[in-house]
Amino acid sequence: MHADKGNYYTQGLPVPETPPPGKAPEFWRETALVGRPIPRVDGYERVSGSAIYPSDLALPNMIYGDVVRSPHPHARVKGVRIDRAAALPGVRAVVTGDSPAARDIKWQHNNHEGKLFDPVCRFEGEVVAAVAADSWYQAADAARAIEVDYEVLPFTVDHDEALKSSAARVWESGNLVGRESYERGDIATGFAEADVVLEQEYRTACELHTPLELHGCVANWEGDRLTIWESTQGVYAVQSRVAEALGLPLSRIRVIGHYLGGGFGSKLWPGKYTVLCALLAHESARPVKLLLSREETFLCVGNRPANTMRLKAGVKKDGRLTALEFDCSGPSGAYPAGGVQLVDWLVRDLYLCDHVRTEGRDVYINAGPARPFRAPGHPQGAWALEQMMDSLAEKIGLDPVEFRLRNIPLVSQGREGRPPYTVTGLRQCLEKGAEAFKWQATLERIKKQNSQPGHVKQGAGLAGCLWIAGAGGPPSTVTIKLFRDGSVNLNMGASDIGTGTKTIMAQVAAEELGVKPEAIQIEHADTGTTQFATPSGGSKTVPTEAPTVRNAAIEVKRQLLAMAAEDLGVPVAELRYVGDEIVRAGRPEQKIKVAEVSTFKKRGVVIGIGYRGPNPEDKAISPFAAHFCELEVNTKTGEIVILRFLGVHDSGRVMNRLTFDSQVIGGIVMGIGFGLTEFRQLDANQTGKLCNKNWHDYKLPTALDAPAEIASLPVELDDPACNNTGAKGLGEPVTIPTAAAIANALHMATGVRFTAAPLTPMAVLRGLERQKEEGGEI
Ligand code: MOS
C-alpha cells in the first residue's frame, strides 16, 4: 500500500518532450528514472516463491507425462510394445510412432524436416514413446514398462573423426553438414607483410545448457483450444512451432510463459516434449505436466558445440595485424544445428586486419543437437583469438593492452560494405579496464611474487570482445494503457528471461509518462493477451522493446495533449505534458490536470500503441567489452583459484545499474564454468553414451567457485544512432571473453600456453608436465 494511494503521477521530475506526430523522439540527455538502480519489479515474487514458474503450476485434475528415450546413440526402432505399460495403474495415455494421433507429425530441426517419432534414433535421448499417468511415479513406471526392440547401429560421437571415411554415418549422405567460408584481402599478401607469424590449434569442449528450471510445460485442452504454460524465452515461437506440428491455427494455441528459470538459448523455441505434452493432454483429456529430468535435458535440449580451431596470424613489429587465417570444425549433433555458427566472427571483426580468411566445417555426430548458447560461437572464437593476441604481443614485445589498442576498428570489417559502428567502445573498455584493474602495477606485483620459491603461482590476463548482434530491431509492438490515477498497464509479448526486462520497461514507461515506477503493471509473454514479440535472446530484448515502450508512452501523451487542446481551446503544439499536468508553453496559468482532461475522464483510459522502427541501415551496432582476471594456480595439484575479475562493458546506456551488474557477474561466472570445469564427456570408444549427465559429474561453478571479487565497470558512451534509448544489449558479451582472459592469466602464471578448454586440474598438470619434459613452452 502506498501512502499517497490513488495518485501515481510523479510531481517535479522532468518529463521528456513529446514529439509531434510523425516525429521521432529525441535521444534522452538527462533521465530521471532510466539508469537508476531500481530493484526488480518482480523481485518479491521471485524470491518469496509466489511467482508461478511453469514447473510450479498445478491445475485441477492434472496428470504427469514421461518420455521413453533411446538409450543408444544410434539405433533403429523395430517395434514398441505398450500393452504392459497401458495396463499399469493410473496410466491414462500412451503415445508412440504407431499412434494415429502422432504418426504423421513432423518436427523441424532448422532446415531439416524430421519426424516427431523417427524410426531411426540418431542420438541418445531421442524420443521413442510418451506416457501420462496420475502420478509422476506411475508415469515413470509406465515409461519403464514400454518394451522397445532396437537394432543398434554403429555410431560416431567424435567430431574430429566424423569426416574420416572409417567413421560411422549419422546420415546416409555422410557426416558433413556443410562448409562456410569467408575471405577478404589476400591472405598470402598479409603473411608476406608480417614480421612475425604464429600458428596454433585451440580447442573448446562441449558445454551443456543447465538452466536451473528444467525444460518442460503444462498443456491443457478446452475443446479444440490448447493452452500451454512453457518455460520459454519466446511464447510466440512456441505457439508457431506447436501450431505447425499439430496443424492447428495459431489463434487456437495460447502459450503463457510469465517466468522461467533460465534458458540461455536452449529455450528460444519449444522441444519435442512440448508437442508430446499436448498430445498426451489430448489423448487423456486431462491437463498434463511434462518436465524433463536433468539427465534428459543434458541429453537433448541443447549445447554449445565443441570446436577445434586452427588460427594462423601475422603481425608487424609495430603491432599492426596483417593476416588472420582461421579454420574451424564443430558438431551440430545429429541434426543441422550450427556446429560452427559464428565461431569465426571475432576473427573477422574484432581487430583491424586487411587480410582474413576463415573456413568452418559443420559435422554430424550421434549426439543431441546443438542450440544457441549465450553468444553462439563467440566464447569459442575468443578462446582462440584472444590467446593468439597475447602470444603475438609477447613475441613482438608489446603489452597485451597496448597491442589490442593498436588494432581497434571503427568499421565492422566483417559485414558487407564495412559499415561504421555507431560507437566503438573497445578502446575505452581496454583503457578504463586497465586503469581500474591496475594492470601495470598488478603485473609488477605478480612478477615479484612469482620470483619467490613456492608452488603457487599468480597470473593476470585480459581479453576483449564484441557481440555480433545486440542491436535488436523490429518487429515489436507494445501497448500502454494509462488510467486516471496515473497507474499504467504495460502490455508486451516479450519474456523476461531473468535479466530484468520488466524492470527496465517499467522504468522507460515511467520516465516518459512522468509516473512512479510502481505505477506500472506489466502484462507480458502470453500469446492470448499480449502483443507479438520475437523470443528474448541475442542480447536484443532491451534494445528491441525499450524503444517500443517509449513510443507507446509517447502515443499516450500525444493523445492526451490533443484532448487537452480541446478543453483549453489552444493549439496542441503549444501544450506541454509535464507529468500530472498539461501546461501551455509560456502561459503557465493555462493548464489542466491530466486526470481532469474531459475525454480522458469519459473514457477512463488512454491507450497508446508503440512500434519499433528499423535500425540504421548504413551503420553497425555492437556492444564491446574487456575482461580482466587475476588468479593463482597450485602447480602441484593443478587447481586454479580465480582471485578477482573485472568486466568492463560498452553496451551503450546503462538502463539500470543493478540489472546491469547482475548480468556481468552472472556472465563471468558462466564463463568461468566454460573455461575451467564444464565439458560433455561422450564415451567415444564403447557406447557413445553421455557419461556425465548429472550435477555431480558435470561441474558447474558454484558460489564457492566464483571469485570473491567480481567488479562491473560500465563504459557508458552516448549512442543516439543505435536507437532512441541508446541501449545496445548486454546479456551475451558478459560471457564471451571470460575464459580467454583466464587462459591468458594462466599463461602468465605458468609460462605454458594451455590451448584446450576447460582448464581442469588434470589438464593443468598434464600441461606443466609436458613443459618439464620439453623444457619449454608448448
Ligand atoms: Mo541467446 S543464445 O540468443 O538466448
**CA 569–ligand 1 middle distance (angstroms):** 52
**CA 376–ligand 1 middle distance (angstroms):** 7
**CA 71–ligand 1 middle distance (angstroms):** 29
**CA 199–ligand 1 middle distance (angstroms):** 31
**CA 774–ligand 1 middle distance (angstroms):** 42
pLDDT given for residue 773 in this prediction: 85
For residue 4, what pLDDT band results from cuts at 50, 70 and 90? low
**% of the chain beyond a pLDDT of 70:** 99
**CA 497–ligand 1 middle distance (angstroms):** 10
Which atom of ligand 1 is nearest to 539's Cα? 3
With a 6 Å cutoff on the Cβ, whether 679 touches ligand 1 is: no
Contact 34, 509 (CB under 8 A): no
Question: In Å, what is the CA distance from 452 to each residue of 455, 461, 643?
Answer: 9, 20, 19
**% of the chain beyond a pLDDT of 90:** 96
Instruction: Give the Cα-Cα-Cα angle 764, 767, 772 (nearest 5 degrees).
Output: 125
Contact 274, 228 (CB under 8 A): yes
What is the rounded distance in angstroms from the CA atom of residue 736 to the CA atom of residue 142?
Answer: 44
**CA 610–ligand 1 middle distance (angstroms):** 25
Which atom of ligand 1 is nearest to 375's Cα? 2
With a 6 Å cutoff on the Cβ, whether 268 touches ligand 1 is: yes
For residue 175, what pLDDT band results from cuts at 50, 70 and 90? very high
Asked if pLDDT for residue 2 goes beyond 60, the answer is no
**CA 266–ligand 1 middle distance (angstroms):** 7
Which atom of ligand 1 is nearest to 374's Cα? 2
- Mean pLDDT for the stretch of residues 359-368: 98
Asked if pLDDT for residue 778 goes beyond 80, the answer is no
Which atom of ligand 1 is nearest to 371's Cα? 2
| Protein residue whose Cα sits closest to atom 4 of ligand 1 | 265
With a 6 Å cutoff on the Cβ, whether 464 touches ligand 1 is: no
Short-list 662, 722, 609, CA closest to 503: 662
pLDDT given for residue 305 in this prediction: 98
What is the rounded distance in angstroms from the CA atom of residue 432 to the CA atom of residue 454?
Answer: 33
- Mean pLDDT for the stretch of residues 30-47: 95
For residue 12, what pLDDT band results from cuts at 50, 70 and 90? confident
With a 6 Å cutoff on the Cβ, whether 537 touches ligand 1 is: yes
Residue of 210, 260, 268, 269 with the most ligand 1 atoms within 8 Å of its CB, for mutation? 268
- Mean pLDDT for the stretch of residues 588-614: 97
Dig out the grid coordinates for 677 from the structure.
570445469
682 HSE (CA, 13 A, CB side): 27
With a 6 Å cutoff on the Cβ, whether 467 touches ligand 1 is: no
Asked if pLDDT for residue 777 goes beyond 90, the answer is no
With a 6 Å cutoff on the Cβ, whether 376 touches ligand 1 is: yes
Which atom of ligand 1 is nearest to 497's Cα? 4
Which atom of ligand 1 is nearest to 265's Cα? 4
For residue 775, what pLDDT band results from cuts at 50, 70 and 90? low
For residue 1, what pLDDT band results from cuts at 50, 70 and 90? very low
For residue 771, what pLDDT band results from cuts at 50, 70 and 90? confident
For residue 574, give the 3-state DSSP assignment.
helix
Which atom of ligand 1 is nearest to 233's Cα? 4
Which atom of ligand 1 is nearest to 372's Cα? 2
pLDDT tens readout for residues 489-543: 999 999 999 999 999 999 999 999 999 999 999 999 999 999 999 999 999 999 9
For residue 635, give the 3-state DSSP assignment.
coil
**CA 256–ligand 1 middle distance (angstroms):** 19
pLDDT tens readout for residues 513-526: 999 999 999 999 99
Give the helix ranges, DSSP H, for 630-706: 657-672
**CA 513–ligand 1 middle distance (angstroms):** 32
With a 6 Å cutoff on the Cβ, whether 538 touches ligand 1 is: yes
With a 6 Å cutoff on the Cβ, whether 374 touches ligand 1 is: yes
- Mean pLDDT for the stretch of residues 616-645: 97
Asked if pLDDT for residue 338 goes beyond 80, the answer is yes
What is the rounded distance in angstroms from the CA atom of residue 254 to the CA atom of residue 247?
Answer: 14
Instruction: Give the Cα-Cα-Cα angle 117, 120, 126 (nearest 5 degrees).
Output: 60
pLDDT tens readout for residues 403-453: 999 999 999 999 999 999 999 999 999 999 999 999 999 999 999 999 999
What is the rounded distance in angstroms from the CA atom of residue 490 to the CA atom of residue 530?
Answer: 10
**CA 110–ligand 1 middle distance (angstroms):** 15
- Mean pLDDT for the stretch of residues 275-280: 98
With a 6 Å cutoff on the Cβ, whether 372 touches ligand 1 is: yes
**CA 146–ligand 1 middle distance (angstroms):** 36
One-letter amino acid identity for 147? E
**CA 732–ligand 1 middle distance (angstroms):** 8
With a 6 Å cutoff on the Cβ, whether 264 touches ligand 1 is: yes
Q: What is the mean pLDDT of the chain?
A: 96
- Mean pLDDT for the stretch of residues 559-588: 96
Q: Look up cell 511434462; give the residue.
A: 290
- Mean pLDDT for the stretch of residues 752-767: 97
**CA 720–ligand 1 middle distance (angstroms):** 25
Which atom of ligand 1 is nearest to 263's Cα? 4
Contact 430, 717 (CB under 8 A): no
Which atom of ligand 1 is nearest to 538's Cα? 3
**CA 374–ligand 1 middle distance (angstroms):** 5
Short-list 677, 526, 112, CA closest to 338: 112
What is the rounded distance in angstroms from the CA atom of residue 330 to the CA atom of residue 341?
Answer: 9
pLDDT tens readout for residues 55-104: 999 999 999 999 999 999 999 999 999 999 999 999 999 999 999 999 99
Asked if pLDDT for residue 774 goes beyond 90, the answer is no
**CA 663–ligand 1 middle distance (angstroms):** 14
With a 6 Å cutoff on the Cβ, whether 236 touches ligand 1 is: no
Residue of 208, 378, 468, 732 with the most ligand 1 atoms within 8 Å of its CB, for mutation? 732
Residue of 231, 374, 467, 501 with the most ligand 1 atoms within 8 Å of its CB, for mutation? 374
Relative to beta strand 355-364, strand 321-333 is parallel
For residue 250, what pLDDT band results from cuts at 50, 70 and 90? very high
With a 6 Å cutoff on the Cβ, whether 373 touches ligand 1 is: yes
With a 6 Å cutoff on the Cβ, whether 265 touches ligand 1 is: yes
What is the rounded distance in angstroms from the CA atom of residue 564 to the CA atom of residue 606?
Answer: 13
**CA 672–ligand 1 middle distance (angstroms):** 18
What is the rounded distance in angstroms from the CA atom of residue 248 to the CA atom of residue 414?
Answer: 41
pLDDT given for residue 327 in this prediction: 98
DSSP assignment string, 159-204: TTTTTSTTSPPSSTT-SEEEEEEEEES-HHHHHHH-SEEEEEEEEE
DSSP 145: H
pLDDT given for residue 470 in this prediction: 82
With a 6 Å cutoff on the Cβ, whether 302 touches ligand 1 is: no
**CA 530–ligand 1 middle distance (angstroms):** 22
**CA 321–ligand 1 middle distance (angstroms):** 31
Length of the chain: 778
CB-based contacts of 86, cutoff 8 Å, min separation 6: 94, 142
- Mean pLDDT for the stretch of residues 242-250: 97
